[in-house]
């Protein structure tokens, strides 16, 4: 924590806050995209995209989950999506899953989350959309007991991206903009250990790594 505090205290000295770029930030934010990512500390949207302050509006939670649109249910995610579209008028939304995801691993292994009721209730939101993999006979792909194999977690994380994109399409503001051609949705899968970003190809619903 000391290192974090020291860097925070010296931040103003390390960054040119006298530049026009930072002065303009005080006038408002005009991000290009809403980036939906897991709250995992190894997944840093600005680092992955090279975004500067003001370029990306972030929504992060365990498992990069977009809860179903329910008008009378209070949700930080719903508020963030609504604000990004209706106020900031973002043109693109990225849903980014990742390798080594603890949320997907817990679902894949059927981990007992009774000691973490909040986590369990939150992951239950995503479970129905992932049933095709979670309930598949023989879905255990070689992981140790209580610990699923990497291939299963990868499959689940990539399916989760597709499911959350589908959930986004049900939000009225998103549905309207998609119909008008004013919004683009993107699915990404980030590999923590290699830095590769896989992009969802909607023509065949597969994830591809684009050559640099």
Of residues 146 and 73, the one with the higher pLDDT is 73
- 58: tokens are 């972030």
**104, 160 in Cβ contact below 8 A?**
yes
Of residues 100 and 23, the one with the higher pLDDT is 100
Decide: helix, strand or coil at residue 200.
strand
**68, 171 in Cβ contact below 8 A?**
no
Nearest to 167 by CA among 125, 203, 134, 206: 125
When pLDDT is cut at 50, 70 and 90, the band that residue 202 belongs to is confident
Any idea how long the chain is?
212
Mean pLDDT of 131-159: 77
When pLDDT is cut at 50, 70 and 90, the band that residue 151 belongs to is very high
Q: Which has the minimum average pLDDT: 113-122, 128-137, 139-148, 187-196?
A: 139-148
- 71: tokens are 């008008």
Mean pLDDT of 156-178: 98
- How buried is 212 (Cβ within 10 angstroms: 0-12 exposed, 13-18 middle, 19+ buried)? exposed
User: How far from each other are the two terminal CA atoms of the chain, in whole angstroms?
Assistant: 36
Nearest to 56 by CA among 39, 75, 31: 31
| pLDDT at 211 (0 to 100) | 57
Mean pLDDT of 85-111: 97
| pLDDT at 147 (0 to 100) | 60
150 has pLDDT over 90: no
DSSP structural state of residue 136: S
Mean pLDDT of 29-33: 95
Prediction pTM value: 0.89
């Amino acid at each position: 924590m000391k290192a974090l505090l020291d860097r925070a205290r010296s931040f103003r000295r390390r960054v040119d806050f006298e530049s026009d770029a930072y002065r303009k930030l005080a006038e408002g934010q005009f991000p290009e995209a809403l980036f939906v990512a897991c709250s995992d500390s190894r997944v840093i949207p600005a680092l992955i995209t090279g975004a500067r302050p003001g370029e990306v509006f972030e929504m992060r939670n365990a498992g990069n989950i977009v809860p179903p649109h329910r008008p009378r249910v209070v949700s930080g995610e719903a508020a963030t999506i609504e604000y990004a579209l209706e106020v900031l008028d973002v043109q693109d939304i990225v849903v980014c899953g990742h390798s080594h995801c603890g949320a997907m691993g817990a679902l894949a292994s059927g981990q007992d989350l009774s000691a973490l009721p909040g986590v369990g209730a939150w992951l239950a939101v995503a479970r129905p959309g992932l049933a095709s993999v979670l309930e598949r006979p023989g879905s255990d792909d070689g992981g140790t007991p209580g610990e699923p194999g990497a291939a299963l977690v990868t499959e689940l994380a990539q399916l989760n991206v597709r499911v959350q994109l589908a959930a986004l399409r049900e939000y009225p503001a998103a549905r309207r903009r998609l119909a008008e051609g004013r919004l683009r949705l993107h699915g990404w899968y980030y590999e923590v250990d290699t830095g590769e970003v896989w992009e969802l190809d909607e023509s065949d619903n597969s994830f591809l790594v684009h050559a640099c």
